[in-house]
Chain A
Amino acid sequence: MDKPLKPGISAIQQNRQLCRICDTDCSITGNATYCPHCGSPISPRIKNSQQKTWALLFTAIVFIFPANLYPITYLLKNNTLYPDTIFSGILSLLDSDMPAIAFIVFIASILVPILKILALTFISFAVHFQWQLNPKKQLIAFSIVEWIGRWSILDLFVISIMVAVFDKGNLLSVYPGIAATSFTVVVVTTLFAAESFDTRLIWDANIDAK
């Protein structure tokens, strides 16, 4: 029988690990690869969590440039192509007196992806170099990133609706541009980056944190 665990101390020091899939704990030495309850791969911390997060973050950083610089949609009107980047789309919304919608699109498509990358990079740096920052504040930042991340998909959904509505061939059509694919890559990689980041590493890096 296992020794009773002491609350208030990290489980890794007591030879205990938690399965992230089925939420049960087991000893680290006895179950090196698989969870005995549900059979999923198990490790005390997410394996190579920092490396995975960095790789996905770099991909996102690379793709955020084409996503913002290239046209995200093309409007084909009377045989003429009008390209639209994310930013010019927001400007035209402002011109046509829709500041609220412009604000939503600005937050979801420009602010959120950039802030997400910045926040995740900062937390990853703090963990890597063991900056002794307040772990609770770092976790709050991470939770915001995690929660708000899904809302970046908004722009992709809007594009899909626009494409479906404007489908009158050469008279009036909307097509997605290169930036749409790049933007999808940014959204997906940042979502996965947040998922592969193990929040317990924040406390591991802070030696004297409570």
Chain B
Amino acid sequence: MVSKRPNLQSGYVAKCARCQRTIYTAKVVRPDKMFALAISALMVCIPAFSFPLISVHLLGITEGTNLIHGAIMMIDIAPLVSFMVLFCAVLSPTLLTLCMAFSSFCMMYNKRPAMLNYVLKLTSALLHWSMLEVYLISLMVAIVKLMSYADLYYGSGMLFFIALLIINMTMISEYNNVKYWEYLRNG
């Protein structure tokens, strides 16, 4: 349905009269803020994915488990499952952060490279597939399940992972694809 775009004061959103979905927001985009968030997310994501999230004391051995390790171990038996876990928990958040860093950087320095078009398309495709918050809940479910079998210790990766999750969620809620497309068009 066609709607008229109203003149909005900053901070207000216009919603569709039919389906209540947001059609326009008057939020100001801060590319410098997005860029800073993206860079910190990229720094945090290396230890978050490679340091042990939890350590388990099992059969006399204490061993740490990280995020990538579990997915890689299934690759022979269930490649599809392994790929999905890697894609939703590692690949899409990282790619999404890279994309946002790139587009914010372009906006900060007023550049419009031909690649920006593809990067923005990739960003909107990846937005649904970044599932770090689902992973955190899964981790909690797994921890409660494991507590009856073995002694558990939180690893150093846990802190980095939670930091990554918070930064990532902030970025996704701050991000507004429409504004970036507007910027690219008005070049």
Is this pair of chains taken from one and the same complex? Answer: yes
Say whether B139 contacts A191, CB under 8 Å.
no
A1 lies within 8 A of chain B by Cβ:
no
From A39, A154, A167, A195, B73 is in contact (CB under 8 Å) with A167
Separation in Å of the B140 CB from the closest CB of chain A? 9
A160 lies within 8 A of chain B by Cβ:
yes
Separation in Å of the A177 CB from the closest CB of chain B? 8
Say whether A139 contacts B19, CB under 8 Å.
yes
Q: Which residues of A have CB within 8 Å of B78?
A: 176, 180-181, 184
A136 lies within 8 A of chain B by Cβ:
yes
Q: Which of A45-80 contact B (CB under 8 A)?
A: none
Say whether A23 contacts B56, CB under 8 Å.
no
Say whether B141 contacts A10, CB under 8 Å.
no
A111 lies within 8 A of chain B by Cβ:
no
Q: Which residues of A have CB within 8 Å of B150?
A: 165
Say whether A171 contacts B59, CB under 8 Å.
yes
B26 lies within 8 A of chain A by Cβ:
no
Question: For the side of the interface on B, what is the size category?
Answer: 35 or more
Say whether B2 contacts A10, CB under 8 Å.
yes
Question: For the side of the interface on A, what is the size category?
Answer: 35 or more
Say whether A150 contacts B128, CB under 8 Å.
yes
Q: Which residues of A have CB within 8 Å of B181?
A: 22-24, 37-38
Q: Which residues of A have CB within 8 Å of B81?
A: 156, 159-160, 176, 180-181, 184
Given that A153-B134, A176-B77, A203-B1 are contacting pairs, would A161 and B117 also be in contact in the complex, using a CB cutoff of 8 Å? no
Say whether A161 contacts B138, CB under 8 Å.
yes
CA distance A70 to B83 in the complex (A): 21
What are the interface flags for B111-149 relative to A under an 8 Å C-beta threshold, 1 for contact and 0 otherwise? Answer: 000000100110010001001001101110110111010
Given that A16-B2, A38-B181, A199-B19 are contacting pairs, would A161 and B134 also be in contact in the complex, using a CB cutoff of 8 Å? no
CA distance A117 to B77 in the complex (A): 27
* Most chain B C-beta atoms within 10 Å of own C-beta, residue among A9, A98, A191: A98
CA distance A100 to B181 in the complex (A): 44
Q: Which residues of A have CB within 8 Å of B141?
A: 101, 104-105, 154, 158
